[in-house]
Amino acid sequence: MAETLLKIDNLKKSFGKLDVLKGLSTEIRKGEVVVMIGPSGGGKSTFLRCMNLLEQPTSGSIVFDGIDIVKADEKTKNRVRSEMGMVFQHFNLFPHLTILDNITLAPRLVKGVARQEAEAKAMELLGRVGLSEKASAYPQQLSGGQKQRVAIVRSLAMEPKVMLFDEPTSALDPEMVGEVLDVMKDLAKNGMTMVVVTHEMRFARDVASRVLFLEGGRIANEGTPDEIFGTLHEGRLGEFLGKVHGEIRDIISDNVVTREEARRLKTLLDEMPDQD
């Protein structure tokens, strides 16, 4: 088994009186693709944001590279963040910078990479996601899917040890979801360690090495995709998967989607066991 990259132990987070994470423990090993699913408000985003310390955990420990980063000083925390990539639902590209500058800003400022070198690397990565010709464009000149691909490249340019994704396709028009998921699949194939929060069950099923079901601030279920999607479940997980299934069916029957969408949704439906 590959070595452990992140060891999370009894992680708790509360906002004032609201306990959002109620003691999470798990390990993330090198090269793993961990997919988190769960109902809204279950704490998936909060968990992800605690991993790179965008949120300061209330208690518990996160051991990364041999040190407990929860108690680290500010400088160490900055370094740790620079070694973890994060992709947001709303892309969060820097609108005042060109695509190239969006990508090279952090390598140059944080790692002190020379401009030429940073730009060469950025161009290579852009080439890999098929956006070479957009290097000198500004973010608002790109489609949602293109923006998210650039956001992924921006994270990759820092050569992170792990990539965190928080619903990277949820803000996209359906026809653009595929191009982003393809990039992510490619990353997974090349051995990138990834933690992905998503509602794309097909992606979870195809790509995940492990699926976590987060509910009420705890890891309610955990297992391989086959264990999660391939069997019938009691309790909340069953309810959740059934609801996802039902929603998709409703969408198709209500005929509110384009034909292309419908096709995509249907394949998704086919691959999921009926939980009813």
Partner 1 sequence: MKKAAFALCSVLLALSGIAGTLTMATEATFPPYEFLCGQEIVGIDVEICRAVARKLGKAFRAENMDFDSVIPAVISGKADIAASGITITEDRRKNVDFSIPYVTTGIVVIYRKADPYKNADQLKGKKIGVQSGTTSDAYVLETLKQEPERFKSTPEACAAMLAGRCEFVIADIDPAKNCVQGETSLALSGFLSSESYAVAVAKGRQDLLAAVNDTIAAVKADGRLAKWIADYTAESGRLKEKGSASAASVQSPSWLATAWQSLRDDFYLCFLKPAGDGTPRGMYLVRGLGVTLHVALAAILLGLFIGFIVAVVRASHDKYGYFPFLSTVSKIYLTIIRGTPMVVQLLITYYIILRTVDSKVLIAILAFGINSGAYQAEILRAGILSIDPGQMEAGRALGLSYWRTMLKIILPQAVRNVLPALGNEFIVLMKDTSIVGYIALIDLAKGGDIIRSQTYSVYLPYLTVAAIYLVLVMTFTWLLGKLERHLRNTGADPVRNDS
Ligand X SMILES: Nc1ncnc2c1ncn2[C@@H]1O[C@H](COP(=O)(O)OP(=O)(O)OP(=O)(O)O)[C@@H](O)[C@H]1O
The footprint of partner 1 (CB under 8 A) covers 52, 54, 74, 78-79, 81-86, 88, 90-96, 105-106, 109-110, 138-140, 147, 154-155, 158, 171
Cα distance between residue 168 and residue 185, in whole Å: 13
Q: Residue 14: what are its φ and ψ, rounded to 5°? A: -130, 145
Query: What Cα–Cα distance (Å) separates residue 40 from each residue in 43, 71, 137, 214?
Result: 8, 29, 35, 10
Cα distance between residue 273 and residue 276, in whole Å: 9
**Binder to ligand X among 15, 141, 191, 226 (CB under 6 A)?**
15
CA nearest to 59, candidates 25, 11, 19: 11
Cα distance between residue 234 and residue 184, in whole Å: 31
Q: Which does 94 bind (CB under 5 to 8 A by kind): Mg ion, ligand X, partner 1, none?
A: partner 1
Cα distance between residue 106 and residue 203, in whole Å: 29
Q: Which does 85 bind (CB under 5 to 8 A by kind): Mg ion, ligand X, partner 1, none?
A: partner 1
H or E, element range at 36: strand 33-37
- Decide: is 45 part of the binding site for ligand X (CB under 6 A): yes
The full DSSP string for 25-71 is EEEEETT-EEEEE--TTSSHHHHHHHHTTSS--SEEEEEETTEEGGG
Q: Which amino acid belongs to residue 197? A: V
- Output the smallest distance, CB 166 to partner 1, in A: 10
Cα distance between residue 64 and residue 70, in whole Å: 10
Nearer to partner 1, 88 or 178 (CB): 88
- Output the smallest distance, CB 105 to ligand X, in A: 26
CB 154 within 8 A of CB 91: no
**Binder to ligand X among 41, 127, 235, 246 (CB under 6 A)?**
41
**Binder to ligand X among 44, 121, 149, 264 (CB under 6 A)?**
44
- Output the smallest distance, CB 44 to partner 1, in A: 16
Tell which positions 7-46 bind Mg ion, by CB under 5 A.
45
Q: Which does 42 bind (CB under 5 to 8 A by kind): partner 1, ligand X, Mg ion, none?
A: ligand X
Per CB under 6 A, the segment of 42-50, 186-194, 205-213, 235-243 that binds ligand X is 42-50
With tokens 């695509």, the residue in question is 99
- Output the smallest distance, CB 86 to ligand X, in A: 14
Nearer to partner 1, 55 or 175 (CB): 55
- Decide: is 57 part of the binding site for ligand X (CB under 6 A): no
Show the CA angle centred on residue 152, arms to residues 207 and 34, nearest 5°: 30
Sequence length of the chain is 276
Nearer to Mg ion, 45 or 146 (CB): 45
Residues contributing to the site for ligand X (CB under 6 A): 15, 18, 20, 38, 40-46
**What residues line the site for Mg ion (CB under 5 A)?**
45
